[in-house]
Amino acid sequence: MPEGDTIFLAARRLRDALAGRPLTLSDFRVPRYATLDLRGRAVDDVVPRGKHLLARIEGGLTVHTHLKMDGEWRIRPAGAPPRDHRVRLVLANAEWMAAGYSLGTVEVLPTGEEDRAVGGLGPDLLAPDWDAAEAVRRLTRDPGRAVGEALLDQTLLAGIGNVYKSEILFLRGVHPWTPVGAVRDPDGMVDLARRLLDANKLRHGHVTTGDLRPGRRNWVYGRAGRPCLRCGTRIRRADQGRADQGRGDQGRGDQGPASGERVTFWCPRCQPEPRSARA
């Protein structure tokens, strides 16, 4: 699932292509909105909220989309709309066309009711009205919860996915199954999360090491079984989530079948396992 910086960049590209121009095409390829026609209305703005995109349309409507796992927006010069079964929405003006592929959510709602879609989100790490204190308060309100789970909870703070979760925990030296209440500096963790996303919000890719060479852009994410870039210990991975009830067999494994949405990566030496998490 895309991280918050990916959504920030997508919103900027959509805004640059669509904002301030009347739509010449609105093609909703979802049954609920198949007859909705927004032609002639200008796009006022495109706003990111966590992992959600809100395209505000003249006349008080908002087109809300979410990429989920596989979605993406592709922008190209105006022309014939793509004939592809994966396309769920096309918005175009006289100059540019934006096609949404494999979008997990497509809905239209009154702009004044956007909270129906995003009101449950925690503070947005990349929002101009970012509230760090509120983010820390939410992150720490369940002290017994594993910090690797809490960082992914979009109702606590919005924008962190598996990549940044794993990288934040590595850089802070925190094991993924550490209870939130045992994290020594949650303020520093939240600050690091915002700085990492902010550093990558205008480029493709999530670089956390400062090294742009292939295979060295991240400390632990995607590097299961390979040596830690800091200490040489073999990186581990596992699924992590409420349903796991702890680490299970994968927690001590090297490769494991960690292919779900909640995969986590860590270095067992740089991120020592807390006693409270041990079997």
Q: Kindly list the catalytic residues.
A: 2-3, 51, 262
Closest residue by Cα to residue 171 from 207, 142, 140, 203 = 207
Sign of the alpha-carbon dihedral angle for 63, 64, 68, 74: positive
Token pair listed for 136: 């820390």
Instruction: Sort strands 87-92 and 96-101 into parallel, antiparallel or unpaired.
Output: antiparallel
| Terminal Cα distance for the chain, rounded | 30
63 close to 55: Cβ distance less than 8 angstroms = yes
Tell me the three state secondary structure of residue 243: helix
1 close to 51: Cβ distance less than 8 angstroms = yes
Closest residue by Cα to residue 92 from 23, 21, 12 = 23
Q: Which residues contact 210 (CB under 8 A, 6 or more apart)?
A: none
